[in-house]
Amino acid sequence: MTSTQQTPSEAADGKGLKKGSVGFWDGVAIGVDSTAPAYTIAAVVGSIAIIAGTKAPAVLIVSFIPMLFIAGAFYYMNRADPDCGTTFSWVSRSMGPWFGWMGGWAIFSTGVLVIGAQADVAAKYAYAIFGFDDLAGNKWVVVPTAVLLVLVLTWMCVRGTEMSARFQHYLVAIQIGALVVFVVAAIAQMITGAVPEDANTFSLDWFNPVGLDGGALVAGMLLGVFCYWGWESAVNLNEEADDSEAAGRAGVVSTVILLFVYLGSAVAVLGVVGLSTLAEYDDDETLFVLVGDQVLGGWGWILLLSIIVSGLASTQTTILPASRGGLSMAVQGAFPKKFAEVHPEWGTPAFGTWVVGGVAIVWYIVGTSISENFIFDSLSALSIVVAFYYALTGFACAIYWRRELRSSVKAFLFIGLAPVIGGIVLIALLVAAVIEYSDPENSYTGTAIFGVGAPLAMAIMIFVTGAVLMVIARFTFAKRYFSRKGFEEVSDEVARAALGPAGPGSL
């Protein structure tokens, strides 16, 4: 067993990234924006309400628990190994190069799956908010606009992390500000009774998962994985942060902020719209058009603005972790050396960033040409891929810190038990998703690909492609990386700094 350790300064200097580009609140903004909260709540709350009724907020709470446990794993693994490759580097250390490579590939792939779809949302609503509904529904207009947005946002990521971080400050303020205005106005109407007759009467039982059917809870949590996915983007910038430890805290804080944003928004929607109406907006973000006009009147457009901003913000913040993951893999010899190149002036992985943006554009154009529903199936495939690499991170944390788990009750609970529970829950959801999407009828396209639904077929294609490339790398340029034994453990120095004499450090 080995306990090799990399200090924050060594990690940054070794890769050439620009240290000090991101502060704590930059990380929080990036973590929140990565999940596209405005778009997510608009698109998903109807679906969760169909599954769980007025207990939709309870589903969001239960879904948050494994996310918080995995956020804790990211925090402690970041303390031990502040590497921008996050899951790739950590799983390679603790579980060996094969699992590590697939974890890194999963992160890289999620960017390809979702970037174009997020830009598509921003483009479509940008036309709609100015009254150009015909253009918003014209694929030949929306697709080129979305491609242009991806190119511009990719250039911003290449041009400098500071620019990206400042841009995210404005976007998160607009997005969360619009949602807060809506929630406050909706709650005021709920209190005064100025809501439609079929609106749901508020009850604390909305937050209680007891009474939920097991199948409904699992189906709702599958959507919950999509809701919370993305917060770890803050941690991927750990080598560019003022303080790498603060990047881990930013990830945890992001998840907590998202919980309250989602709960507030879900309560507001349920309080002003009946379940029968919500059923008409299954996976349909145009729900915000309805509730915006109903609650805010002439100011309803601010909710549409929040969706546009949500799409822009998440497009950019999804490019960042995918490119950093490729950089880390290249530096450690698992990816082609070209991905290790960092721009000498801007301090960003320019080549890898352009590759992520370019491949995402190709996937988006091909998918859109097949069917608009193909893009939605890409988002559904995320639940499988994300559950995989989140679970790996949870298990990796317990393995890497295994020698310290008996040092205190807190260490056992926070660094060992919680991440493992989070990982087990996510593996269970992954299996549930495989079962769900094995039936083509449960996909948006409704057509069978290799005998299964499109989301599962996409996930299988991603993992098979990754496995093939991994084997090729193993027998060509990555022999040294694959000679690693794994099963490393945290160094005594790092353990003392993180745990101290009284147990785990404060988050």
Which domains does the chain possess? 18-499 (1.20.1740.10)
DSSP 3-state of 386:
helix
DSSP assignment, residue 443?
S
| Separation CA 142–CA 134 (nearest Å) | 10
Tokens of 111: 């960017």
Taking each continuous run of H as one helix and of E as one strand, the counts in the chain are 22, 0
Tokens of 331: 């530096």
190 close to 51: Cβ distance less than 8 angstroms: no
449 close to 441: Cβ distance less than 8 angstroms: no
| Separation CA 133–CA 203 (nearest Å) | 38
Rg (CA), the chain: 22
Produce one character per residue of 404-424: b if its CB has 16 or more CB atoms within 10 Å, e if not: beebbeebbebbbebbbbbbe
Tokens of 142: 């929306």
Q: Which residue has tokens 């599958």?
A: 222
| Separation CA 195–CA 488 (nearest Å) | 58
| Separation CA 258–CA 143 (nearest Å) | 30
Burial of residue 294 (number of CB atoms within 10 Å: 0-12, 13-18, 19+): middle
Name the pTM for this structure. Answer: 0.90
Long-range CB contact pairs, 296-304, < 8 A, 24+: 296/181, 296/182, 296/185, 299/181, 301/129, 302/178, 302/181, 302/182, 303/38, 303/42, 303/178, 303/179, 303/182, 304/125, 304/128, 304/129
40 close to 227: Cβ distance less than 8 angstroms: yes
CA atoms within 13 A on the CB side of 252: 16
Instruction: Note down pLDDT in tens along the chain; length 507 residues.
Output: 344 443 333 334 467 777 777 788 888 888 898 888 988 888 888 888 888 889 999 999 999 999 999 999 999 999 999 998 999 999 999 999 999 999 999 998 988 888 888 898 899 889 988 888 899 888 899 999 999 999 999 999 898 777 777 888 888 899 999 999 999 999 999 999 888 888 899 999 999 999 888 888 888 888 888 889 888 888 888 888 777 788 888 889 999 999 999 999 999 999 998 888 888 877 677 788 888 889 998 898 998 899 999 989 888 888 888 899 999 999 999 999 999 999 888 888 999 999 999 999 998 998 888 777 777 788 788 889 999 999 999 999 999 999 999 888 989 999 999 999 999 999 999 999 899 889 888 877 787 888 898 889 989 999 999 999 999 999 999 999 999 988 999 888 888 877 765 444 445
How far is the CA of 334 from the CAs of 86, 102, 110, 138, 480, in angstroms? 14, 11, 18, 42, 9
Return the amino acid letter for 482.
F
